[in-house]
Every structure is written in structure tokens, then in C-alpha cells.
Chains A and B, each alone.
Chain A
Amino acid sequence: MSLLHLAVLSPLLLAILIPFLHKYFKNIHTGWFLLPLPAVLFAYFLQFISTTSHGGTVMETVAWISSLGINFTLKVDGLGLLFALLITGIGALVVLYSIYYLNPDKEKLNTFYVYLLLFMGAMLGVVLSDNLIVLYTFWELTSFSSFLLIGYWNHRERSRYGAQKSMLITVFGGLSMLGGILMLYIITGTFSISETIQMSNEVVNHPLFTATLILFLLGAFTKSAQFPFHIWLPDAMEAPTPVSAYLHSATMVKAGIYLVARMTPVFAHSGTWVWLVAGVGVLTLFWGSFSAVKQTDLKAILAFSTVSQLGMIMSLLGAGAAALHYGTIEDGYYIVAVTAAVFHLINHATFKGSLFMVTGIIDHETGTRDIRKLGGLMNFMPITFTLAIIGTFSMAGIPPFNGFLSKEMFFTGMLRVAEMDFFNMDTWGILFPIIAWSASVFTFLYSMMYVFKTFTGKYQPEKLEKKPHEAPIGMLISPVILASLVIIFGIFPNVLSHNIISPAMGSILPSLLENGEGFDVHISHWHGPTAELFMTIGVIAFGLLLYKFMPKWAGIYSKLPSRMSFNRFYDRGLELLELTSKNITKSYMTGFIRTYLVYIFSFFILALASTLIFKNAFQLDLSDVAPIRFFEVVLVLIMAVSAITILFAKSRLTSIILLGAVGYTVALFFVLFRAPDLALTQLVIETVSVALFLLAFYHLPQIRRNEERIRFRATNALISIAVGAIVTMIALSAHSNKTFGSISEYYVENTYKKAGGENMVNVILVDFRGFDTMFEIAVLGIAALGIFAMIKLRLTRGRELDENK
């Protein structure tokens, strides 16, 4: 157990303590206990920069299930470190924000922070594990904790719906990924990611390659809310805003991005990967930004915007993967897409995180997030307004903020996709920059809507629940820090390039690097009058135009058929699934014990009969049988007749007496078959049994005649006869088919020597198989207790009934 392991597990360990801290320090907001942890972890992970910036990695292993190749291996490299810093850094800010956002008197803080810590630990585990099974375990833990966080306000119907939706979709993806992991294991024979990357050639040429790739991408796409799995993200906005800021902007939804980046060296040599990742990414980018424009809830705008931005990063990773195929490090032609992906990942976390927090502030101070009700808040909340401007302008790609830089690089990456002359990109590749550009126009549009519809325009106090005012200072600290980062990264992007971006790229495209080499990343603001610059200018001009004439064209949104939407598909699918399973269950769970017995007996007949037939097990050997004497035949007849007569017995008394007759005959058989102990036991037990039956019979109330009538039922008869026949066949086969000798010789020899007894049956019971007998006594004891309780129960219940009268 290294310090690194402790760091990853520390959120989970602290989660155990939270309920106690919450209980014993009621006066202190529980968030304060949490805050130091992500801050300390952030500082701890910062130390690794000196290692990773030179291309180094740190690896620590704790053996877990070594025999299956599953070890708790943690690896810090450029990519993992970048995510770890995001998780802990944004985590600390979100915790700080939540302290002011969540009211300790109204909310259950202990559960909230336990879930949050659970999530933080799971996320760190995902991005730092080097073992696919460990990664998968943490991956599912993020889905699980996200479910809990989304459904935190579980009294709201929408919260529960959103939580279930995200759970179903992400867990579906997680299971697909598990399938992919297992297939990858079949190909490579290892769960280690580092070793798998070494073997990428074998992976690409394996027949399972495409299936593995698709399963992995399903995992990544569901987690990162890529089209058409994006539908869960907007519903997940029911979570408290700090959660949305943390999970749905900076961390969890980026797990899919992480997975794609992490697996790029393994899969990216194929055209399928480039096409799927870039294609789905661009589609998501467009659909997300297009849908964001029609939203009226601030959080919904941000949700679709997140979907869209995730698609953008995804498409960049896909396009950049082409570098592994063609590019070399010198020309850096496609590599720029990867640079843009990593850079935008950081930028998105900063501006989207701050925007979510701004939304939280607006919601908190006005009581609504509906842009139709909001307006003119600029004068009431100047600081929030400034923060919103910085965040949205960065998102829209306006200089000098960091979003502008990554957006420019994004255009560069997409333009180069259009120039690709492999993977069949030459025909369709031109679509990439076109879709990317139009999506950027919508991005610009919703960014402007977000800030101007909220903060400018007419102030409508009558529609607000509270009188708006500036947020408390504590709520402003976190967004202010994030917004400053937006500006700092915008003006000095190269503070990141060497220490953070270049090592992360080294993990995504390792095969392009010689030993000890690193990517030389330099981000500049001015490239001269390039195509990218004109695209940006076009986005702003066209975006402004659309914003101005919005009422004229917004009608197209209502033209979209709502019946065809993916949400509807999901809802109907879920309904149908529930209905079908309910109907199927109802069709065989009738509530009649007879039905269940019929199932059991039918299965018994089918299983045994088919075994007898297909295994050719039925044999009849008449050579080695014991002789039959006359009175034995008589006994057999007595028994058979009494058993059959029970079927037709009209009164209960007759049946009980006949059952007794069968029992006593069995005892006689035991005598004949040289089993004196059995005979004695059977006699005693049978006597007691019959007495018991009669006793019960005595107590049973009289029942009307017609209920006593026994009707003949053909199915029952058929099943019974089949059961009887099967048992007879088994008995005959067992007799005729002695494949090995009896093991009882051992007991015959050792009864006296080892146990000092002469009665073999008794010695077996009390000595050789003493535990059996002990548990048998226990069973009898339990039965006795049960009987006693049942009889006692009658008394208490009877009294209650009397009282009720």
C-alpha cells in the first residue's frame, strides 16, 4: 500500500467518517470537514508534474487477485494526472461552493457528502488505474454514486426519473465495456493497460477487434453523453447545482473522454475508430448546441451545451487519432487536434464549472432558472454578471478567453480532417468543418442567450420568488477562481502547454515519441489571416444575426416531431419493458401452489426423462435379484392398495388411517430387509404421526360436504403417472446399473475398530456422521419451536380478535 493508493482511497475512507462528524459537530457545516481533502490531494498530485513533464510515470501495485491477473495497479502519467488534478481541483472548489449553497438546516448533509466523496474516490480510481478490471470497478462506482447524487432530492419525481435514466444508460454502457474488457483480455491475455498498449498490433489484427472497439466505445459514449445516449444528461440536471457543476461539467462525463483518450493507442490504428469517434463527436456537437438554443431553463441550456462540448472534445480525439496512422511528430499535422482536445478539456472544466456555479447563484438568489422570468439582473448582481460574461464568452469562442484558443485549434483540426486522403475521408471529410462551424454558430447563440436574457432586458420582479441580490462572498469564491483561470489560460495559455498538455498528449499518442522525447506544444493567439480566423468571425457575425432575428426562425423547433425523439423512445421502451415483464411474470406466477408444483414436477419429469433417454441410462438387469416370498407379495399389495385407496377416500379419517397403514407396512418392509433400527424408528414415528394427524383432525372444523368432493383431474393424473413411471425407471436402473462398489465396506470394517460400537447404523449416525445428526436435531428443534410459536400465536391473535369485537 503506497501513498498513492492511500490518496486514491482517502475519499472513500473519509466517507466512512462523515456520518459521525455530522452527528457530533452539528454546529459546523459538514462541508468544512471535507474541504481540506481535495485541496490536499490537489497539492499532492501537483508534485507529480515534475515527473510527468519529462515523460516519466509513477506506478504502484498492490496485489489483489494475482492469479487472474487483477492487481490494484495505479499509474500516474500525463493523462491520468491531468484528470486527477481536475477532479481534486474542481472538487475542492465545488465543496467550498456547496458549503454556502446547501442549507445545513434543510438538507441531509451527511448523505450528500458521503455520496460526493464516494464519487470523488471512484473518479480518481478510474483515471489512475492501470488495470482494466479495477478501472471497470471504479467506473461502475461512478455511475452508482452519480445515481445517488442525481436522486439526492429523492422526494422529487423528476429527480428519481433522472437518476434512474442516468443509471440505466451509463450502466448499460458500463456492461458493454466489461464485455470489451473481457474480449481484450482474450486477445492480449492481460488486464494491464500499459501492456495492452504494447500489444496494439496484435489487437488490431485480431478478428474480435471491431467488436471490442464498439463495446469500448459504447461505454465511453454513454458515460460522456454522446449522441444518441445524451438524453440522460439534461435529466441529470435535477441534481443540486454543485453536483451538476462537479459531475456534469468537469468530471464524470469526462470519464468517457478519458477512456477514449486512454484507449487511443490501442484502437486508433483503424479507420473505424477515427470515423466513429470523430463522427459521433461531431454529430453530438451539433445536436447538443442546436438543442441548447430552444431551452428556457438555464441549467438545461448548460446541460445541452455540455453535451455539445463533450462531442467537440470527442471529435477532436477522433480526428487526432489519425496522427497515429500518418502523421509524424515533426509536421504535427493531425496532432493539433489532440492538443486542442486536451486544452479544451481543461478550458471546458473552467468555464463550464463557473457557469454552473453562476446558475446556482441565480437560482439561489431569485428562486428560478427560467430565462422567460429572468431579466435585468445586471444591476442586482454585478459580480455574477461579470462571471457569466467571462464564462459564456469563453464558451462562445470570443477572444481573449481560453475558449477562443481551443475553438480556433478545433477549427484547424476539423479543416485537416477534410484534407485527409485515407479512411475514405476524402469524400465525406468536408462535412466535418461544415458541421463544426454551424454547431459553433449555435454555441455562440446559446451563450449569448444565457447571459443576455438573464442579465439584461426587462427586470420582471413579479415573476421572481425572492428579491434578487448579490450572492454571499462564499458562493462567489469558487466561480471567481474558475473565471480567473479562464482569463489566465486565455492570455497565457503556455503555462499549461509544457507541464500539463504535452505529457497528457504523450499518453494519448505514445507511439509517436522516441524515448524521453515530448511533444512541443506552443499555443499562440495570432496565426495571421487564416481560414480559422475567418470562421471565427463568421461565427460571431452569423450568430449575432440569428440572435437578432430569433423569433423569426425559432418556429423550426416546434416542427421537429416529438414522437420521434430519443427521450420518447427511452420512455416507451422502459414502459414496454416493465409491462412485458409484469405480464410474463403474472402469466406464470398464479398464486396457486398447485401451479408451482406442476412446474416443479414437469421440470423433474422432463429433466430426468431426457437424461434417461439421451444418456441411454435406462437398463434392466434381472439376473441379480433377491427372491420373492409369498407374504412379501401380500405386503406389497396391501401397501399399493392402501396408497391408491387414499386417492378415492372421501373422508379425512379414512385417508389418515390408510396413511398409517402404509407407514406400518413400510416398517414391516424394514424388518424384512434387515434393518431393525429403521423398523423400530418407523414404528414409533408412525404411531406419533397418526396420533398427530388425528389430533389435528379433531381440531379441524367441520367442512361442508361439497367441498370434500374430490374431482378427478386429467392433468394431475398424467403428471402423477409420469412421476411414478420415472421413479420406477430410476429405481430399476439404479438396481441394474452398478458402476462401482458400495463405499459402505469402510464402515463395516471400522465400526468397531474406530468407534467401538457394534451397531453399524448407530455408529454411522452418532460417530462417523455426527455433525449430520447434530444438525438434524437442530432441525427438529426449529420445527418444535415453530410449532410452539404457531400454537401460541393463535392465542394472542384470538384475543385481538375478541378485542376488535
Chain B
Amino acid sequence: MEILMAFLIGILFMTATYLMLSKSLLRIIIGTGLLSHGAHLLLLTMGGLKRGAAPLLGEHAPSYADPLPQALILTAIVISFGVTAFFLVVAYRAYQELGTDNMDHLRGKEGHE
């Protein structure tokens, strides 16, 4: 399973990178979203998959899944949501002001720093 996940994560990173390199602002944002999904799964896979029960003491299991990556991922999910939301509003503003979402057009003018 870990091997399979490793490849899946690779695919997620690949698509995310490709999207982030594109010109459309929206695609860049989608790319960052995919990137965070990939990163979350990577964290989880690194900790090992399906070892023991869910990390709840109430389960009274002999072993539990590693709680630490889960805690990290939980933080990361929330943060990436905040970032995505912020990005979206920035993109939205860029549309409002400039009427384009093409990164090449958004570039500052020559000598206009």
C-alpha cells in the first residue's frame, strides 16, 4: 500500500507543479490545493499505514496508528485552507482591478516598480 501511495503522491505533486507553472491564476490556486493534498498524504504515508487502531484510547487496542503525523496534517489542512481562501480573494481582486487572470498580463510594467 505504501508503495502505491508513493506513486499516487508523485502524481499529485506532478500535476500540482504543472498547474502552478501555468499562466492562469485560477489554475495556480488549484495547483496549490493539489500540492497540499499531496503533502498531507506524504506525511501520513511516511508515518506508516494501517498500523493498529485509530489513535483513540477508547479503542483499547494493542497498538495505535501514529498520532503525530495526524496532528501535523490536521494543522496543515486548516492552514492550507486559509491560504487557499486568501489566494482566491487576491485572484478575485486581481480580476476586479485588471480584468485578467493571465499571469503574463499581471506582470508589472517596465520601469514601473
CB–CB A646/B1 < 8 A: no
Q: A632-B1, A652-B26 are in contact. Are A731 and B78 (CB under 8 A)?
A: no
CB–CB A794/B56 < 8 A: no
- Using a Cβ–Cβ cut-off of 8 Å, how many residues does chain A contribute to the interface with B? 97
CB–CB B46/A669 < 8 A: no
- Whether A591 is near chain B, meaning CB under 8 Å from some CB there, is yes
CB–CB A713/B11 < 8 A: no
CB–CB B21/A692 < 8 A: no
CB–CB A724/B74 < 8 A: no
Instruction: Tell me if B's interface is mostly helix, strand, loop or mixed.
Output: helix
CB–CB B96/A727 < 8 A: no
CB–CB A710/B22 < 8 A: yes
CB–CB B57/A655 < 8 A: no
A700: chain B residues within 8 A (beta carbon): 26, 92, 95, 101
- Tell me the nearest residue of chain A to B105, going by C-beta: A707
Nearest CB in chain B: distance from A722 CB, A? 9
Nearest CB in chain A: distance from B13 CB, A? 4
Partner of B97, one of A622, A677, A765, A797: A797
Expressed in whole angstroms, the Cα–Cα distance for A701 and B103 within the complex equals 16
B12: chain A residues within 8 A (beta carbon): 639, 643, 662, 724
CB–CB A639/B99 < 8 A: no
Q: A727-B10, A758-B56 are in contact. Are A707 and B30 (CB under 8 A)?
A: no
Q: A727-B9, A728-B10, A747-B68 are in contact. Are A761 and B86 (CB under 8 A)?
A: no
CB–CB B18/A720 < 8 A: yes
CB–CB A765/B75 < 8 A: yes
Expressed in whole angstroms, the Cα–Cα distance for A346 and B76 within the complex equals 71
CB–CB A643/B34 < 8 A: yes
CB–CB A594/B23 < 8 A: yes
Partner of A719, one of B21, B67, B85, B96: B21
Nearest CB in chain B: distance from A529 CB, A? 74
Nearest CB in chain B: distance from A134 CB, A? 41
A626: chain B residues within 8 A (beta carbon): 1-2, 48-51
B37: chain A residues within 8 A (beta carbon): 662-663, 666
CB–CB B101/A703 < 8 A: yes
Instruction: List 25 A-B pairs, Cβ < 8 Å.
Output: A622-B3, A639-B8, A644-B15, A655-B27, A659-B33, A662-B12, A685-B77, A692-B84, A696-B92, A699-B92, A707-B100, A716-B22, A720-B15, A720-B17, A727-B13, A728-B13, A731-B6, A731-B9, A731-B46, A742-B68, A748-B64, A751-B67, A761-B74, A783-B86, A787-B86
Expressed in whole angstroms, the Cα–Cα distance for A682 and B75 within the complex equals 11
Nearest CB in chain B: distance from A778 CB, A? 10
CB–CB B77/A747 < 8 A: no
B23: chain A residues within 8 A (beta carbon): 594
Expressed in whole angstroms, the Cα–Cα distance for A727 and B45 within the complex equals 12
- Tell me the nearest residue of chain B to A798, going by C-beta: B96
B65: chain A residues within 8 A (beta carbon): 673-675
CB–CB B68/A764 < 8 A: yes
- Whether A579 is near chain B, meaning CB under 8 Å from some CB there, is no
- Whether A613 is near chain B, meaning CB under 8 Å from some CB there, is no
B15: chain A residues within 8 A (beta carbon): 643-644, 646-647, 720, 724
A3: chain B residues within 8 A (beta carbon): none
Nearest CB in chain B: distance from A770 CB, A? 11
Q: A675-B44, A720-B21 are in contact. Are A764 and B10 (CB under 8 A)?
A: no
- Whether A588 is near chain B, meaning CB under 8 Å from some CB there, is no
Expressed in whole angstroms, the Cα–Cα distance for A640 and B81 within the complex equals 21
Chain B positions 19-53 with a Cβ under 8 Å from a chain A Cβ = 19-23, 26-28, 30, 33-34, 37-38, 40-42, 44-53
- Tell me the nearest residue of chain B to A735, going by C-beta: B2
Nearest CB in chain A: distance from B36 CB, A? 10
Partner of B70, one of A639, A761, A798: A761
- Tell me the nearest residue of chain B to A788, going by C-beta: B89
> Which 4 A-B pairs rank lowest in CB-CB distance, beginning with the nearest?
A724-B14, A728-B10, A760-B67, A731-B6
- Whether A734 is near chain B, meaning CB under 8 Å from some CB there, is yes
Expressed in whole angstroms, the Cα–Cα distance for A793 and B11 within the complex equals 39
